[in-house]
Structure 1
């Protein structure tokens, strides 16, 4: 099977699995599958893909976006996540400005937030 036809497992390091599980399950509302043999937390995503949270006590987050969720209505998704305690980032940079947490680019809208370990997560909507 070609890679372009494969589902994806996204691996993301977390320092505190219990805290991460609470955030990804309760705040983001992802479907928790369980813990694998290696002690990683597994979440089922659309299309059969998975998010695997790897316990790494000494890990440091990347400053770049680690994971982006495609949504149909970004403003509604932001409101729903904020109601569950997610805090969105705002930017006022020459190349990146947000208004009400949303950056409008040529072909998409995007909004960013951090997980408890500082991993940068994103919502994006194709225009």
Structure 2
């Protein structure tokens, strides 16, 4: 048996305000959030596993999407997020082709419909068409 194991691997990312992250991921997005013994957040995923969220005083937001939420209907998900106070129109780059709702419409060679938004620390998240 190898000493290197992958069975319990997990991902993580930093934030500048752990309390704001707890409220956002738990209250706004409705995720199952627990606080571990070190005071870090564990975002529990419905099908198993978790994501570690840790405070970092000199946090710099990720310049890439750190967490994706596959959804059946991107338009409905964007409407729901907007109703919760989440801004989904964060890119105006014409190359992305986002519309007035902040959705980049997919198609051949373009991938799925996708909309990006940020957490309170500025990390980029997305909702995208499942399957």
TM-score tier by shorter-chain length is 0.7 to 0.9
Aligned residue pairs, count: 123
Larger radius of gyration: 2
The aligned residue for residue 46 of structure 2 is 46
The aligned residue for residue 63 of structure 2 is 63
Residue pairs, 1:32-111, within 5 angstroms: 32=33, 34-99=34-99, 100-106=101-107, 107-111=111-115
CA apart distance, 1:90 = 4.3
Say if 1:112 and 1:56 are closer, same or farther in 2 by CA, change over 3 A: same
Unaligned runs of 5+ in 1: none
Q: Secondary structure at the match of 1:46?
A: coil
Moved over 2 A (4+): 6-10, 89-95
Contact 2:89–2:103 at 8 Å: present in 1 too? no
Greater strand fraction, Structure 1 or Structure 2:
1
Unaligned runs of 5+ in 2: none
Greater helix fraction, Structure 1 or Structure 2:
1
The CA RMSD measured in Å over matched residues stands at 1.9
Output the TM-score relative to the length of structure 2: 0.83
Distance 1:7 1:70 in 2: 23
Output the TM-score relative to the length of structure 1: 0.85
